[in-house]
Amino acid sequence: MRTIEGDVLVIGGGATGAGVYFDLAQRGLRVVLAEMNDLCTGTSGRYHGLLHSGGRYAVNDPESAIECAEENVILRQIAPHAIEDTGGLFVGFRSDPLDYVEPFKQGCARAGIPAELISRAEALRLAPGLDPTLVTAIRVPDASLDSFDLVHSIVEAAEQYRGTTLTYHKVTGFQIEGGRVVGTLLENRKTGEQVRVNAQYVINATGPWANVIGEMIGVPIKMRHSKGIMIAMNVRWVHTIINRLKPPADGDILVPVGTVCVIGTTSITVPSPDHFEITAEEVSQMLDDGEVMIPGFRKARALRVWAGVRPLYEDPNGKNLDSEGREVKRTFSVLDHEHDGIGGVASIVGGKLTTYRQMAEKISDFVCAKLGIVRPCVTATTVLPAPHHQQRKYHALPQREREFEHADTHKGLICECEIVTRPQLEEAIRSSGESVKLDDLRRDTRLGMGPCQAGFCAYRAAGILQETITLPADSAVAALRDFVQERFRGNRPLLWGHQLRQALLDETIFRRSLGLTSQPEAPESAEVTTSHG
């Protein structure tokens, strides 16, 4: 068994875990990050792409509104490469409650959220596709945030401070002596290698899986698993974020993300973050809600559907909650498990991607105090580096085609939809190691995330993968099959109209032309429905 020595082990490779990893590494600690899959494959990689201004929570959750407003300003400064400053509108339509406008304006003022009432004409200039009978429009500083780029930036920054990143390493157990965690056992899911991490402190930052880690150390953590589905449409219906001007509900956010736009989301309690289904009724509801904002939306091509599970923490001392989790506060909590009889371990639960840095700062301060370390947090003023694979973001609007056509690499186009070049793909493969999956490369480069859903780029990418790392032919075919099947899972609930035609074309390419055979279906789960199209 390989042994790794460190000061702190962080479990969870989403935005919060990565944030803690970087914060503590920057303070000079030896930090190990363990993630059971690839980076950003949990809730952080399955959201709608919105950097919150705080407006959504201004009326009913003022604490979360203030947190989002503060972090919105900070993230624009430290991670500009991951943000598209789209701006945002809260729009009231004829079916929305007019008496919500004043409480919304007052809540924004109390939370410090810039909120400007604009005319109908100005709203339609910013978003021409909106229903022209809209009643009210208020402008706020929302933005579009690429969580994949953000998390990779954070992890690469932590590694510059000698952090150790262990992806595809699953926690299998803890060694507890004298009421304290003294060692954590991991298994490399690709090789089967057993790894032991000895650290002075362990941080559970696993989001909706926090209760799983809690059970392993004998500590109950009561989580509300709230599923939310999102649908990527094949074009950007809007270039600014649209929110319904009413209390938070299903299908009331429309976010431009890269080359598509995303509508979301639902809030349905599920028993587990690993196993759930996406129903036709949920999809239909989202499209109906989009029709209220954008006439003709329901007839447009729905490109892909996925779901994420919110990590909502139920404070055992809190008030009763509604059945679907809309009333659960989006704030976060640091849980000191020494109060539960187990020392050397703490959990960070709740929160949102927008507040990941603040969450990381709070629990890092807590752990440093436990270890007797006095070093300030400086993540709020440290600009994160762009990920190494991000040579040029050709998919970023509005001038992606013109910039690409004048680039030195324009002859190496692999993915036409998201404008991924061969040099970008080769660099991502080399930096990821010999066991990289095509789906990992998707999170790195947006490979296969456009309208054809990998129909034309998957087999090209598989060939480049085989050439770059001298992959055996059967392994390359397996990598291609896994990637194509993963893409299909997100298309399956949308098989009608133009999307059905695309799926039939993809099947012709892979099954009939290339002779690619299918493999047994895995249970429908959160692990196979990923975000951003």
Q: What is the pLDDT of residues 126-158, one digit of tens each?
A: 999 999 999 999 999 999 999 999 999 999 999
Query: Residue 34 has what pLDDT?
Result: 98
Do 253 and 131 fall into the same domain?
yes
pTM for the model stands at: 0.89
Assess if residue 361 is contained within a domain. yes
Domain coverage including residue 138: 85-144+224-312
Query: Residue 349 has what pLDDT?
Result: 95
Assess if residue 390 is contained within a domain. no
Do 436 and 490 fall into the same domain?
yes
Assess if residue 387 is contained within a domain. no
Do 338 and 468 fall into the same domain?
no
Average pLDDT over residues 391-413: 57
Q: Residue 495 is encoded by which pair of tokens?
A: 């098989």
- Under 8 Å between Cβ of 175 and 181: yes
Distance of CA 522 to the CA centre of its chain: 22
Assess if residue 406 is contained within a domain. yes
Assess if residue 347 is contained within a domain. yes
Do 15 and 32 fall into the same domain?
yes
Do 428 and 520 fall into the same domain?
yes
Do 105 and 230 fall into the same domain?
yes
Assess if residue 320 is contained within a domain. no
Burial profile 239-250: b = 16 or more Cβ within 10 angstroms, e = fewer: bbbbbbbbebeb
Identify the bridge partners of residue 166 per DSSP, sorted by sequence position.
34
| Amino acid identity at 282 | E
C-alpha angle with apex 434: 428 to 440, nearest 5 degrees? 45
d(CA 116, CA 147) in angstroms, rounded, equals 28
C-alpha angle with apex 231: 15 to 421, nearest 5 degrees? 65
Q: Residue 224 is encoded by which pair of tokens?
A: 């509300």
Assess if residue 319 is contained within a domain. no
Do 418 and 407 fall into the same domain?
yes
Residue that terminates a domain, selected from 286, 312, 338 = 312
Do 509 and 364 fall into the same domain?
no
Do 229 and 218 fall into the same domain?
no
Average pLDDT over residues 313-324: 58
- CATH number of the domain bearing residue 233: 3.30.9.10
- CATH number of the domain bearing residue 356: 3.50.50.60
Of all residues in the chain, the percent with pLDDT exceeding 70 is 90
pLDDT in tens, 262-296: 999 999 999 999 888 899 899 999 999 999 999 99
Query: Residue 404 has what pLDDT?
Result: 58
Q: How many domains does the chain have?
A: 3
In this model, does residue 176 exceed pLDDT 90?
yes
Of 393-402, 408-417, 464-473, least confident by mean pLDDT is 393-402
Assess if residue 464 is contained within a domain. yes
Do 419 and 471 fall into the same domain?
yes
Do 190 and 238 fall into the same domain?
no
Do 191 and 264 fall into the same domain?
no
